[in-house]
Amino acid sequence: MKFFVDTAEIDAIAELNDLGMVDGVTTNPSLIKKSGRDIIEVTKEICDLVDGPVSAEVTAVDADTMIAEGRKLVEIAENIAVKVPLTWDGLKACKALSDDGHMVNVTLCFSANQALLAAKAGATFISPFIGRLDDINLDGMDLIADIRTIYDNYGFDTQILAASIRSANHVLESARIGADVMTAPPAVIKSMINHPLTDKGLATFLEDIKAADIKIL
């Protein structure tokens, strides 16, 4: 499974990237706003930092302007994936940009039918939002499973990018089902290392090291 980090904070990306935990980055207008940076400036810096796809989202809602914005965004770097919403205009933009040879991430997916349309339109990535479905008492993992089945049935190349991930369990379940990619905030990725038995075992080792006065250096 590929790990994308969902942030526009350069220091957080760099820390995880140094550990080999970053296969790509996803951003959106809310994350850009939180960073306090100019969208072109911060996106360029992220693209220079990581080798994998960096999703940069359009701000328009009509197809023609989305296409124009997408074509401007891809000038930032070769690893830009243009992020468009899952609307008819978004799909029109997806088709045009993918026909141009650009990566496209179709976002705000909440149904398998939507994911099927995005694949037909040539999406590189489809971003089903797990957490937001959970928020309305629907199981986001059911959507990941349905999309996986449909894409496998027909050999679509579109990669399932599990998004709106809120916990380490979301990562685990997405991996079990077979999502190609997951994107999560840095804090969620870091939380994957946590286990009380690891903490307990380490505490025991440290006590024994101290008692035995064990030294290596």
Q: Does residue 37 belong to any structural domain of this protein? A: yes
- Its pTM stands at 0.94
Catalytic: which of 33, 44, 83, 92? 83
Q: How many domains, the chain? A: 1
CATH classification at residue 72 = 3.20.20.70
The tens digit of pLDDT for each residue in 48-63 reads 999 999 999 999 999 9
Residue 202 CB neighbour total at 10 angstroms: 10
Domain membership of residue 169 as a residue range: 2-192
* Below-50 pLDDT ranges, the chain: none
Q: Is residue 25 part of a domain?
A: yes
Q: What is the pLDDT of residue 93?
A: 98
Q: What is the pLDDT of residue 186?
A: 97
In a domain, 96, yes or no: yes
For 107, other C-beta atoms within 10 Å of its C-beta total: 24
Give the helix ranges, DSSP H, for 19-139: 29-35, 39-49, 63-73, 88-99, 112-120, 130-135
Is 214 part of a structural domain of the chain?
Answer: no
* Catalytic residue check, 83: yes
Say if 209 falls within a structural domain: no
Q: Give residue-wise pLDDT tens across range 159-198.
A: 999 999 999 999 999 999 999 999 999 999 999 999 999 9
Query: Per the domain annotation, does 198 fall within a domain?
Result: no
Is position 202 within any domain? no
